[in-house]
């Protein structure tokens, strides 16, 4: 007896699942891009709209109970020091923090030093620094709680020249 040739029926499920997974990643990607680059919070105010008071209210609130010593701990906890000091100091990764409080006062007029430091952390791409190519992570606006952000600014303000 010869068997009739078996026609292998492929199950549609793997394809359905693959398409589902792709759609899910697509949606995640779009959501992520919207967060990084868009909305009301993802972009700094335009350069020409900057005034001395830009960020002033937020920064004053953040600094009200800020503690530079806690800021030093946060700089390690959030990985800042891996690029900015220690092994990364004076290298191609990131500008060293020595004297940054003094430089911050003139980096982006009319912003105050504190406002500039705030902007540097929350909107790292707002201001280009010669010799660096915008490698600072964009996540901090979302991952650093307000209290720690204030502590970090207070800590950076201790780096005077």
What is each CA distance from 58 to 61, 119, 122, 144, 147, in whole angstroms? 5, 11, 12, 14, 12
Cβ closer to ligand HEC: 35 or 82? Answer: 82
Q: Which stretch binds ligand HEC (CB under 6 A): 11-19, 29-37, 56-64, 132-140?
A: 132-140
**154 near ligand HEC (CB under 6 A):** no
Cβ closer to ligand HEC: 7 or 95? Answer: 95
Cβ closer to ligand HEC: 26 or 79? Answer: 79
**103 near ligand HEC (CB under 6 A):** yes
Q: Which residues from 32-71 bind ligand HEC, rule CB under 6 A?
A: none
Cβ closer to ligand HEC: 50 or 83? Answer: 83
What is each CA distance from 151 to 66, 67, 117, 160, in whole angstroms? 5, 5, 12, 16
Is residue 157 within 8 A of residue 117, CB to CB? The reply is yes
């Amino acid at each position: 007896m010869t068997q009739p040739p078996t026609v292998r029926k492929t199950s549609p499920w793997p394809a359905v699942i693959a398409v589902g997974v792709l759609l899910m990643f697509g949606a995640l990607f779009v959501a992520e891009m919207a967060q990084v680059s868009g909305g009301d919070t993802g972009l700094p105010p335009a350069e020409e709209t900057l005034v001395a008071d830009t960020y002033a209210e937020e920064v004053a609130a953040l600094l009200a109970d800020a503690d530079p010593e806690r800021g030093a701990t946060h700089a390690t906890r959030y990985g800042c020091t891996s690029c900015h000091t220690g092994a990364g100091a004076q290298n191609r990764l990131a500008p060293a923090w020595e004297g940054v409080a003094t430089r911050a006062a003139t980096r982006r007029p009319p912003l105050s030093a504190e406002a500039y430091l705030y902007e540097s952390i929350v909107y790292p791409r707002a201001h280009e620094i010669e010799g660096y190519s915008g490698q600072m992570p964009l996540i901090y606006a979302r991952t650093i709680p307000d209290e720690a952000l204030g502590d970090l600014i207070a800590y950076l303000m201790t780096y005077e020249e």
